[in-house]
Structure 1
Amino acid sequence: MICFYCGQENSHESALCTFCEAPLKARRPQLRDHLFLEQCELPFSELSLFHTYDLLILLRLVREERSTCYRLMRSVQKAPEGIVIDSDTLAFAESDYRRYTARMRVIEGILIDRMGYKPKRVDDKLLASLKAKLENN
């Protein structure tokens, strides 16, 4: 078995590279064809297998949805006095916002571990530059 990191040949029985001690059977992140907002609900162990580029796109989707939830929550809270809004509707809006905030923090945490920072904005310029770097390798 050849090590993904150093390229050294290793025996098939070993779990670690004999040269650099990297795990030989660990799955490495691969680019995905399609990403959906619902994938942010995956557990940490699965999200950590996402490629950094995919995590950035997922972070962008989660931040957009979180902003939408925030605007909805605020509009419900600021409804005129004549309009009666039940507490379940308000609780639902708040719980959605909190859920997407927590999911956003998980993804940002993984990105901090990989990149050393979390991007303030995930815009087309950032994604295009990262995509160009990936295509050059």
Structure 2
Amino acid sequence: MICSYCQSEQPPYAESCVFCNAPINAKRPTLKEFIHIDQAELPFEELCLFHTYDLLLLLRLVREERTNTYKLMRTVQKAPEGVLIDSDTLTFTETEYRCYTARMRVLEGILIDRMGYKPKRVDDKLLVSLKAKIEND
């Protein structure tokens, strides 16, 4: 068996590398073929297994959805007095906004741990440059 970190040969049945002490059977992040907004609801342990590129894509989706939910919430809150809006609708939009905000913070926290910062904006320029670095390695 070969260590995925230092590429040194390991004795059979070793649990950690004899050179660098890295776990031999640890799962390393791999790029996913498809990222969708529902994946933001996965538990922290599963999100940590996502590749950094996939986390950035997911953060971009969550931020977009959070913005849309905020706009909807503000529209409902600012409705004219003559328009009847039930409290369930307002409560739902506020709850969704809080949920997307919390998910966004989880993703940003994982990215801070990996990159040392959270990107202010996840745009195509950032994603293209990261993808190029991944493909060059």
Fold equivalence (TM over 0.5): yes
C-alpha separation between the residues in 2 aligned to 1:10 and 1:73?
A: 57
C-alpha separation between the residues in 1 aligned to 2:13 and 2:4?
A: 16
Q: Which amino acid aligns with 1:37?
A: I
What are the residue-to-residue correspondences of 1:120-131 with 2, within 5 Å?
Answer: 120-131=120-131
C-alpha separation between the residues in 1 aligned to 2:84 and 2:12?
A: 68
Indicate the residue corresponding to 1:42 in structure 2: 42
1:116 aligns with 2:133: no
Q: Give identity over the alignment, percent.
A: 69
Per-residue CA deviations over 1:9-49 (Å, capped at 9, x if unaligned) read: 11232211011001110000000001100000000111100
Equivalent position SS for 2:11: coil
Structure-1-length-normalised TM-score: 0.98
**Number of aligned residues:** 137
Equivalent position SS for 1:18: coil
How far residue 98 of structure 1 moved from its aligned partner, in angstroms, is 0.4
C-alpha separation between the residues in 2 aligned to 1:97 and 1:55?
A: 20
C-alpha separation between the residues in 2 aligned to 1:73 and 1:67?
A: 10
What are the residue-to-residue correspondences of 1:86-125 with 2, within 5 Å?
Answer: 86-125=86-125
Indicate the residue corresponding to 2:26 in structure 1: 26
- Provide the aligned C-alpha RMSD in A: 0.6
C-alpha separation between the residues in 2 aligned to 1:84 and 1:130?
A: 48
Indicate the residue corresponding to 1:76 in structure 2: 76
C-alpha separation between the residues in 2 aligned to 1:93 and 1:12?
A: 55
Identify unmatched segments of 5+ residues in structure 1.
none
Runs of 4+ aligned structure 1 residues displaced above 4 Å come to none
C-alpha separation between the residues in 2 aligned to 1:15 and 1:98?
A: 42
Identify unmatched segments of 5+ residues in structure 2.
none
Indicate the residue corresponding to 2:11 in structure 1: 11
